[in-house]
């Protein structure tokens, strides 16, 4: 499926990675609605050893950076996230089908960016609720969007490494 410009060149190709990206963004939002509706704020709910559900509203960036700022961070982080999302969307729809790993990496990062962008724009904070810990040490509280970004970034690094290896093998 494509969306056409006036000269019939596709502006946007709907691909399986793009559909998965959109589905993950929707799943992220659904999980955050459930977390907000069912979890007590700031009180861990044990799920497994070293895994809690812990509702937290992050007004900052990753690892709560800028969480305590006066509110300006909402709009700056939203603008950055929107810009990145547009860039990733265009990039994803123009990547050749043969670059499967790169397409999936970009799709996952896009899903996470869209999920967190929605939160920032409509709530003023990102809803986090997944909490991993070991003893007294607690990892950052995160959500499905954050997990998608992290997995996408790891796949992007893997693609860069594999691409460099392919280039080295191709040169005599």
Residues marked active site are found at: 128, 146
Torsion angle of C-alpha atoms 51, 54, 57, 63, degrees rounded to 10: -30
Q: How far apart are CA 54 and CA 154, in angstroms?
A: 25
Distance CA 28, CA 138 (A): 22
Burial class (CB in 10 A: 0-12, 13-18, 19+), 142: buried
């Amino acid at each position: 499926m494509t969306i056409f410009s006036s000269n019939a060149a596709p502006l946007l190709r709907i691909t399986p990675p793009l559909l998965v990206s959109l589905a993950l963004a929707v799943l992220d939002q659904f999980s955050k609605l459930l977390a907000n509706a069912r979890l007590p704020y700031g009180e861990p709910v044990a799920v497994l050893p070293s895994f809690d559900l812990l509702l937290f509203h992050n007004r900052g960036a990753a690892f709560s950076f800028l969480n305590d700022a006066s509110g300006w961070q909402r709009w700056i982080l939203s603008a950055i996230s929107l810009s990145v999302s547009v860039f990733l969307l265009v990039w994803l729809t123009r990547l050749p089908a043969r670059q499967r790993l790169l397409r999936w990496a970009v799709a996952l990062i896009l899903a996470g960016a869209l999920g967190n962008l929605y939160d920032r724009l409509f709530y003023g904070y990102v809803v986090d609720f997944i909490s991993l810990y070991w003893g007294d040490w607690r990892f950052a509280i995160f959500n499905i969007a954050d997990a998608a970004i992290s997995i996408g970034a790891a796949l992007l690094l893997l693609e860069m490494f594999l691409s460099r290896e392919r280039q080295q093998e191709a040169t005599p």
